[in-house]
Amino acid sequence: MWFHVLACDYDGTLATAGAMAPETTAALRRVRESGRRLLLLTGRRLDDLLATCPEIDCFDLVVAENGAVLFEPAAKKADALADPPPPVFLDALARLGVPFSTGRVIVSTVVPYEVAILAAIKRLGLELQIVFNRDAVMVLPAGVSKETGLRAALERLGVSPHNTVGIGDAENDHAFLGCAGFSTAVANAVPALAEAVQLVTAASDGAGVRELIDRLLQTDLEEFRLLLRARTITLGTLEDGEPLTYPARGPGILITGASGSGKSTLAGLFAERLVRQGYVICLLDPEGDFRRLAEHEGIVVLTSESGTEDARALEVERLLRHRSTSVAIDLSALDREERVRAAASFLHAVHRLRAQTGAPHWLIVDEAHHLFPPGGSPAQEMFDPEWSGACLITSEPERVAPEVLAIVGHMFSTSLPAGGMALIPPGGVPGDDLEPGEALDISLALGKATSARRFRVARRDTHHRRHVKKYATGRLPPECSFRFRGPHGALDLVAHNLETFTMLAKGVDDATWLHHLGNGDITGWLRGQIKDAGLADEVEALAQGRDAAGTRRSVLEAIARRYAPVARADEERRSD
């Protein structure tokens, strides 16, 4: 189930002449029985609504006074979401002879008194706005609307606007329908609203709402998938200059490519663009590649350490459920088996949340071949093959369990051949090898490539640093470590990571340093074992320098720029 909330306007939508038909009330109760939530949004004053609508208990929350008041029927509790009108403004309207009523925040009148009201606002220098609802005129603090009220209600419910269906009829419904995941107008809606929404019902008023409810309960609006997929995110630019976009609702994708070719950069861009458009993601990060996402507003990065999986899973659930905050989970402090067990705990929480709220909208799994190997794993047991919003990242897709790989409906590759799989279409790939920053957009049918397009990947909001934890402060196996031996083999100093390399490089004699730099040993290690081609290229440019102190300083500064833990550790040693 994708849509978990139905948000309805009252007058002219649910109600005719101020009252709801019994059939409409029964339909609303069916929505609640399906496990969905109901919201009522109205321009009426709360006291007026309570006197008019005896069915108020049908709703989980009520947004009254056009977004200015939030009411919880079960608790009989009302909260003002804005300040009340200034007394000086009310006095001015009384002197002008404007007939009006006031609620907790709203000031209400009718056409044509908006002219006198606007003059009073201008003369007094107040930050107030006028909103129309057919012949009704509402005055509210600037920025208050049904949209702001809807967002406040959804935040309290822990549901995203993307998982909300809205329906209305009049001018003041534009704002909240514009932010809903699916927008509907009843047949009697004003023409401008009818033109702006995704669906106009055949029937008017309450009958139109019942028509929508029948569709919602029968199919979850699946018949409108093409409309829903029209909401896209931009990932880059095609060769003809057109944007390369992807539907924000899937299907599931595979991002693959050789190590160091830019697949993590593309995946990070994908995550950032989703969050920018209000979608909620949960990213499992076995190698610590995505910790810089913490710099992006709306994403929290959590580190899972040994023995903390259950507590972290609860924390992730709270963030996703109550704040609609996207989460990236760094698993790099765990060993291989612990990562798989921890991933299983997080996937269990994600599975439960998706069933209850529809979010997170995307699950992004880096190093998918580690978590979902052929033959199964605890993590795979918690993976739902029906998920449409799933993104797998791996340089070795052939080592991912086929049951998990089956969710892939599209693919992006940052190198040729595409991840070692037979996924190059019959016509091949246009042009030569991919340049840095380029990728392939590959369409699939029945698991086979049907077409491929080159595109240039857009720039990310946050800079990607590769395998920060693994290469900076983790422990590489002996065969992948760097050894300072010197020109005569008199030394055997082993650097298991970049932090140790930095410490040893500072202590070795000039002859040893220049020997390894000039022979290309350092460049080869950075390129082959650290798999950082950019850093290797920068160091290679220094390889023939004979100034030991200058080249040493330049190389270590280049490492520190790319790998934050190395820089921080060096700063801490200096402060000691």
Domain-embedded: residue 205: yes
Residues 67 and 88 in one domain: no
Per the CB < 8 A criterion, the answer to whether 161 and 179 are in contact is yes
> For residue 179, how many C-alpha atoms fall within 13 Å in the half-sphere facing its CB?
19
Domain-embedded: residue 463: no
What CATH number corresponds to the domain at position 443? 3.40.50.300
Domain-embedded: residue 462: no
Please check the confidence at residue 368 and state whether its pLDDT lies above 90: yes
What CATH number corresponds to the domain at position 219? 3.40.50.1000
Residues 178 and 274 in one domain: no
Per the CB < 8 A criterion, the answer to whether 83 and 65 are in contact is no
Residue 572's pLDDT is 45
For 35, residues 6+ apart whose C-beta sits below 8 A from its C-beta are 1, 4
Rounded CA separation 490/512 (Å): 10
Residue 231's pLDDT is 86
Q: Which of 15-24, 154-163, 221-230 has the lowest mean pLDDT?
A: 221-230
Select from 283, 371, 372 the least CA-distant residue to 329: 283
Domain-embedded: residue 261: yes
Confidence of residue 417 (pLDDT cuts 50, 70, 90): low
Residues 128 and 254 in one domain: no
Pull the structure tokens for residue 519: 């022979």
Residue 297's pLDDT is 77
Residue 570's pLDDT is 52
Per the CB < 8 A criterion, the answer to whether 452 and 442 are in contact is yes
Per the CB < 8 A criterion, the answer to whether 502 and 530 are in contact is no
Helix-helix angle 87-96:114-124, to 10 degrees: 130
Select from 287, 381, 290, 289 the least CA-distant residue to 336: 287
Domain-embedded: residue 155: yes
Domain-embedded: residue 558: yes
Task: For 34-86, write each residue's pLDDT tens digit.
Answer: 999 999 999 999 999 999 999 999 999 999 999 999 999 999 999 999 999 99
Task: For 485-510, write each residue's pLDDT tens digit.
Answer: 999 988 889 888 888 899 899 989 99
Select from 473, 413, 483 the least CA-distant residue to 449: 413
Select from 80, 90, 68, 78 the least CA-distant residue to 141: 68
Of the residues 457, 486, 512, which one is the last residue of a structural domain?
457
Strand 101-102's sheet: what is its strand order?
101-102, 107-110, 136-141, 128-133
Give the CA-trace dihedral at 237, 240, 241, 244, to 10 degrees. Answer: -30
Residues 57 and 194 in one domain: yes
Strand 438-445's sheet: what is its strand order?
243-247, 232-238, 448-457, 438-445, 408-413, 252-256, 390-393, 362-365, 281-285, 326-330, 299-303
Residues 53 and 169 in one domain: yes
Pull the structure tokens for residue 110: 């009718």
Residues 376 and 489 in one domain: no
Please check the confidence at residue 466 and state whether its pLDDT lies above 50: no
Per the CB < 8 A criterion, the answer to whether 535 and 562 are in contact is yes
Rounded CA separation 526/534 (Å): 9
In the chain, what percentage of residues exceed pLDDT 90? 61
Residue 576's pLDDT is 43
Domain-embedded: residue 252: yes
Confidence of residue 419 (pLDDT cuts 50, 70, 90): very low
Of the residues 168, 197, 226, which one is the last residue of a structural domain?
226
Domain-embedded: residue 464: no
Name the DSSP letter for residue 75.
T
Residues 440 and 480 in one domain: no
Number of structural domains the chain divides into: 4
Which DSSP string do the residues of 228-244 spell out, in sequence order?
HTT-EEEEEEETTS-EE
Please check the confidence at residue 274 and state whether its pLDDT lies above 60: yes
Residues 137 and 156 in one domain: no
Residues 432 and 495 in one domain: no
Please check the confidence at residue 532 and state whether its pLDDT lies above 70: yes
Select from 61, 54, 57 the least CA-distant residue to 20: 54
Q: Which of 341-355, 378-392, 403-417, 557-571 has the lowest mean pLDDT?
A: 557-571
Neighbours of 446 (CB within 10 A): 5
Residue 420's pLDDT is 40
Express the helix, strand and coil content of the chain in percent, nearest 5 each. 40, 20, 35
Pull the structure tokens for residue 521: 């040993």
Residues 242 and 381 in one domain: yes
Which DSSP string do the residues of 521-569 spell out, in sequence order?
HHHHHHHHTS--HHHHHHHHTTTT---HHHHHHHHHHHHHHH-HHHHHH
Please check the confidence at residue 234 and state whether its pLDDT lies above 50: yes
Of the residues 406, 436, 457, which one is the last residue of a structural domain?
457
Mean per-residue pLDDT, 369-376: 93
On average, the pLDDT of the chain sits at: 88
- Residues 332, 441, 297, 317, CA torsion sign: negative
Residues 259 and 385 in one domain: yes
Residue 564's pLDDT is 57
Please check the confidence at residue 565 and state whether its pLDDT lies above 60: no
Confidence of residue 575 (pLDDT cuts 50, 70, 90): very low
Residue 465's pLDDT is 47
Task: For 167-207, write each residue's pLDDT tens digit.
Answer: 999 999 999 999 999 999 999 999 999 999 999 999 999 99
Residue 569's pLDDT is 45
Element (H, E) at 439: strand 438-445
Mean per-residue pLDDT, 561-575: 54
Task: Tell me the one-letter amino acid at 541.
Answer: A
Enclosing domain of residue 432: 232-457
Residues 65 and 106 in one domain: no
